């Protein structure tokens, strides 16, 4: 039978915020131009696969600041979650499973068909 972990509320909140920040950062990066600095477009078909990029206007200072802010918060949360005092209470061989359970703690449990 699988062990059920009683995660502290601050650890659960930190992990949930980490998920949210990573999702927000990922969405932002997908919306932004491919290059931080303005760059001409290019097409390279001499390699093993063709690579094409349109011209990039670069990121604005506000966009750069937003990415930096999200990356900084992501780092803070990752450190908080990974160094939380809770992990000292979990036996070393069980920490990987416990960490995986924490990452999925916000998900609804799958319902089994009857």
Give the integer Cα–Cα distance in Å for 98 and 11: 12
Angle of helix 61-82 relative to helix 9-31, nearest 10 degrees, comes to 150
Measure the CA angle with vertex 74, ends 100 and 2; round to 5°: 10
The pLDDT assigned to 108 comes to 67
Who's near 34: CB < 8 A, 6+ residues apart? 53, 54, 56
pLDDT along the chain (114 residues), means of 10: 86 98 98 96 91 95 98 98 97 94 82 55
36, 64 contact by CB (below 8 A):
yes
Sign of the torsion formed by the C-alpha atoms of 80, 83, 87 and 91:
positive
The pLDDT assigned to 112 comes to 53
> What count of Cα atoms within 13 Å lies in the side-chain half-sphere of residue 17?
17
């Amino acid at each position: 039978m699988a062990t059920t972990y009683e995660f502290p509320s601050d650890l659960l909140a930190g992990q949930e915020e980490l998920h949210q920040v990573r999702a927000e950062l990922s969405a932002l990066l997908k919306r932004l131009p491919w290059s931080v600095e303005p760059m001409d477009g290019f097409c390279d078909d001499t390699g093993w696969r063709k690579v094409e990029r349109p011209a990039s206007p670069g990121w604005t200072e506000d966009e750069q600041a937003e990415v930096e802010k999200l990356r900084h918060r992501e780092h803070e949360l990752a450190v908080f979650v990974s160094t939380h005092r809770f992990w000292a209470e979990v036996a070393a061989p069980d920490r990987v499973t416990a960490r995986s359970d924490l990452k999925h703690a916000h998900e609804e449990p799958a319902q089994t068909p009857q």
